Amino acid sequence: MGLFDRLRTRDVTTSKSEIKSQFAPPVMDRPFASWWGGNSYGGYNSYANAIVRQDAMAVPTVSRCQALITGIIASIPLEMYSLKTGKELQNYVWIDQPDKRQPRSVTIAWTIDSLLHYGISWWKVTELYADDNRPARFEWVQNDLVTTKYNSTNTEVDYYMINNERVPMSGVGSLITFQALGQGLLIRAGNTIRAALDIEKAAAVAAQTPMPTSVIKNNGADLPDDQVSGIMNAWKLARQNRSTAYLTSTLDVQQFGFSPKDMAYAEAKQFYALELARACNVPAEMVDAQVMRSQTYQNVLDARKEFFAYTLQPFVTAIEDRLSMDDLTPRGQVVRFSVDETFLRGNPLDRLAVTEKLLTLGLIDINQAKEMEDLTPEGSGEYDPTDL
Q: What predicted TM-score, i.e. pTM, was given to this entire model?
A: 0.72
Give the helix, strand, coil percentages of the chain, each rounded to 5: 45, 15, 40
Four-point Cα dihedral 155, 160, 166, 169, nearest 10: -90
Query: Rounded to an integer, what distance in angstroms lies between the CA atom of residue 277 and that of residue 288?
Result: 9
Residue ranges per domain, the chain?
A: 1-211+262-342, 214-256, 349-373
Are the C-beta atoms of 134 and 19 separated by less than 8 Å? Answer: yes
Predicted local confidence at residue 24, as pLDDT: 79
R_g over Cα of the chain:
30
295 half-sphere exposure, CB direction, 13 A CA radius: 0
pLDDT digits 0-9 by tens, 250-265: 777 776 655 555 556 7
Query: Rounded to an integer, what distance in angstroms lies between the CA atom of residue 308 and that of residue 185?
Result: 19
- Computed over every residue of the chain, the mean pLDDT equals 78
According to DSSP, residue 92 is labeled P
Are the C-beta atoms of 314 and 181 separated by less than 8 Å? Answer: yes
Distances (CA, A) of 334 to 31, 168, 204, 319: 33, 26, 50, 11
Q: Tell me which of 376 and 80 has the higher pLDDT.
A: 80
pLDDT digits 0-9 by tens, 304-325: 888 999 999 999 999 999 999 9
Query: Rounded to an integer, what distance in angstroms lies between the CA atom of residue 374 and that of residue 350?
Result: 16
